[in-house]
Chain A
Amino acid sequence: MKPTDISDPDYFHKVVDCQWACPAHTPVPEYIRLIAEKRYTDAYMINWQSNVFPGILGRTCDRPCEPACRRVRVEEQPVAICRLKRVAADYKSDIKDRLPSVPKKKNGKHIALIGAGPASLTVARDLLPLGYEITLFEKDELSGGAMRTQIPRFRLPGEVLEEELHYILDMGVNCRFGEEITSMKDLLNEDYDAIFVGTGAPLGKHLDLPGYEEAKENIHTGIEWLASVAFEHVDSIGKKVVVLGGGNTAMDCCRTSKRLGGEEVTVVVRSGFDEMKASPWEIEDAMNEDIPIVNFHVPKEYILEDGKLVAMTFEKVRKEYDENGRRLLISTGEEPVVIPCDDVLCAIGQDNSFPWIERDLGIEFDKWELPILNNTTFQSTNERVFFGGDAALGPDNIITAVAHGHNAALSIHLLCNNHNINDRPNPLTTLDSQKMGIHQWSYDNDISDDMRYIVPHAAKEQTLNDLNMEVELGFDEELAFGETMRCLNCDVQTVFTDNLCIECDACVDICPTDCITFTLNAEEPDLRKSMLAPATNLAQDIYVSDLLQTGRIMAKNEDLCLHCGLCAERCPTSAWDMRKYLFNTAKAENACQS
């Protein structure tokens, strides 16, 4: 293998598994350390710079960081990254004086944002401090998009939502709320320098089965029903409710039903429980509220009595695989199952919908009716039009929308300055030694064996009777501190300087997870096998040095490194050093500076 090029910004970034997995690449270990120091406001601001909605995401994020957490490779549970983010938001002090200043004198460029969800608001956040004039169109009277309409208040309290929306809106957005854009052509004819579409995936799917037409009044699409609840247009539901679907929307629908008068609420999924798309913790929360989840039941018919919906029938199925390994659902041949219901909520998916974008504007769409985009710049085939969030690549999550927003804002900034928008600025990185003394580091390298701390919940008797009462109470400071200690500080990198190494084996002998091997060089597959502990996780890199005095190389398996720093502590020549790698994606403010 060739010696590893640690100057490649991606190399050490990949070692910080949580940050690498985060669509917005939030520097997770950095803010977790700040929480441990009770520097909540600093921790909050790191998040705010990167993911814009720390308080919201600290409650609602899909947490792609957590399955990636290194800790799951040495024990059972990842660090509760998401809930620590909430701690930063809960315990911070006033941050107003830390928000970027917005110049009074504008730069003369005017950007239109359509849809006031997380993607558009991120674009506004990034461009307002650079002097852009921003006009934000929203069909509803209130901003927030899916964060307001899709997420029930018992998961995301209104004041948290309002606070974080207003940090951006108060920067001086021209809000045109309650105004639905019905023609992109008209908008393009107005004098905007760029248009950003962040309209989400607003079309809920319904299930057209026998009886649908007659029972329509009591069959609702999940996202529309949740939005109606959020806007207080709906405040009750029948006593018996069937929720169709196994995603997070289904979990929100069933839990909301429980709070609006649903007494027998049942979630029914076509396939297996293990195949449900909902996050495990959302499923767990629903089950904690005594909501049964029935799997392997395929909906067949809406049953009416006296013209009113009374039940649904389902066919029981089992799972089989055909010769191509494709999963099939085969009927068990049993009698159909009847589940009585007064209302049905269909949470079986949602679609994009752009009837308002005329097809002769140079904005091309693919066969799924999604705009054809450059996946880095988020520019459509019309150079002035950008897409982000669910509107760009189909339904995903808030943090992905934020990441799109940052990238689109950068593209718009480059475009407005007549730069090539494909010429993206490099990420901002630093790599600094953490050595304080012979055996002291500026980070806490003592690895905690504690198991993941459980977030306390409010009493079920109370929360089920109050639509707006938050279920999760969040960590208190003590629990939060315990949880922060579980972070392995994967951003504090083991950096090896080959010409200092005397090959004494001190690092090999001390490493608790057998990461380091001194061996003859070989091609990667052979080298992986010849490591002290074979490096079988191909997703994780091997860090390889140049030739050492004895003709061997140092090879380190990044996979299981605990970043405990003992290799560097035991190294007599400081050939190993622990250096903190801070990585921040380049944003609009970092471009066009010369």
Chain B
Amino acid sequence: MSYISKPKFQHPDLEENEIGLTRRDYEGTLTTLCGGCGHDSISAAIIQAAAEMSLEPHNVAKISGIGCSSKIPSYFLSKSHGFNSVHGRMPSVATGANLANKDLYYVGISGDGDSASIGLGQFCHIVRRRINMLYIVANNGTYGLTKGQLSATADLGSKTKSGEESLYDNIDMATLAIELGASFVARSFSGDKQQLIPLLQAGLTHKGFAFIDVISPCVTFNNTDFSTHGYKNTWENYISLSQVDFVPMRKEITTSYEPGKEKEITLHDGSVIHLHKTETNYDPYDKENALHHINQHKKKGEIATGLLYINQSASDLHELQDTVDKPFNRLNNHDLCPGNKVLRGINETFR
């Protein structure tokens, strides 16, 4: 780790966003991860995404579990709420937080160990329960914090730095999320911020459970030529199913697109996702089609990335539970104990 703090001087032309903050205002403390860790690029992408969206830091909650990945929330949005929870239990804490205050943006950060091994059960259930949040898995195929054992997302045949080969098929977090009912599923790469940033913005804006599997190489323990999660392999086998642009609700659309080769997805708040240069016959609304494409590419040793699946009409937990409009944490005594008259009214309905 670096011993100095990041200099406060910033680029004099750095733009201020709509609420008068620059990108530097969305930073966290200086990273303590290894130099070159993909996770730092994820932090940087979140910082950029949040600054461009003019998110108010106090309206964001960051929640993580345990692992290198789960350290990331320290390194962005230092003025936001944060909870570094128990190994694999980030989904429970996120569910609780979301129930208590549905008005915040929730960013869950986890890793392949945290979500695909110890927390796999929790992961499945948070997807099923459709919590309105952005769930990021920083996926490096290895247990970096314990010095480089194979994780459950390591591909069959991939080798650790010490030469141990993965004998088992991997758990593909994106296909799992699609199958379990996530309404926004994407895959990206820490090295490709051009794709990752719009996906983060779309995921944050999407109402419902948004999941992004981010290939995020472990530069210390899993960045060899025979690892499928290293920089080299990812760059070489990286297939973008579509290029993604995110246009927030308020912004004018200025980019021009080739007609007919573009898919436009409008989110609930009026923001628009543009998918262009899309692979022919790729349909992000069609679960089966999405799974088919992901598997076809996987067979060829390729990593399908981009917005894999979306369903804007799915309800989130609060809608399914028909909760009150007001966030629970703002319900006061009177709201919760409305008095004898109301109670009698309720009781009447059971007679």
Contact = CB atoms under 8 A, between A and B. Distances in A.
A301 B286 CA distance: 93
Please classify the interface of chain B as helix (H, G, I), strand (E, B), loop, or mixed, using the class held by over half of its residues.
loop
A570 interface: yes
B350 interface: no
Interface string A524-567: 00000000011010000000000001100000000010101010
A566 B6 contact: yes
A509 B10 contact: no
Contacts of B3: 439-440, 446
B35 A513 contact: no
B219 A505 contact: no
Given A447-B7, A533-B13, A572-B36, A503 B2 contact: no
Contact of B35 (A74, A447, A562, A569): A569
B232 A534 contact: no
Contact of A570 (B35, B38, B190, B193): B35
B1 interface: yes
Interface string A409-434: 00000000000000000000000000
Contacts of A560: 11-12
Interface of A: 73-75, 439-440, 445-447, 449, 502-506, 508-510, 512-514, 533-534, 536, 549-550, 560, 562, 564, 566, 569-573
Contact of B9 (A74, A534, A549): A74
Nearest to B235: A550
Contact of B36 (A73, A75, A571): A571
Interface in B19-68: 24, 31, 34-38, 40-41, 43-44
A446 B25 CA distance: 20
Given A504-B37, A564-B7, A570-B2, 7 more contacts: A504-B219, A506-B35, A512-B9, A536-B13, A562-B7, A571-B36, A572-B36
Contacts of A572: 34-36, 219-220, 223
B2 A504 contact: no
Contacts of A536: 13
Given A533-B13, A533-B14, A566-B2, A573 B7 contact: no
A74 B11 CA distance: 7
Contacts of A513: 7, 9-11
A549 B2 contact: no
A401 B156 CA distance: 73
B259 to A, nearest CB: 25
A89 B296 CA distance: 74
Contacts of A510: 6, 31, 40
Interface residues of B, number: 35
A508 B232 contact: no
A61 B86 CA distance: 63
B123 interface: no
B231 A533 contact: no
Given A445-B4, A564-B4, A572-B219, A506 B36 contact: yes
Interface string B178-195: 000000000000110100
Contacts of B36: 502, 504, 506, 570-573
B232 A514 contact: no
B40 A502 contact: no
Nearest to B4: A446
Contacts of A514: 10-11, 14
Nearest to A447: B7
Contacts of B14: 514, 533
A338 B269 CA distance: 73
A25 B38 CA distance: 42
Contact of B44 (A449, A509, A569): A509
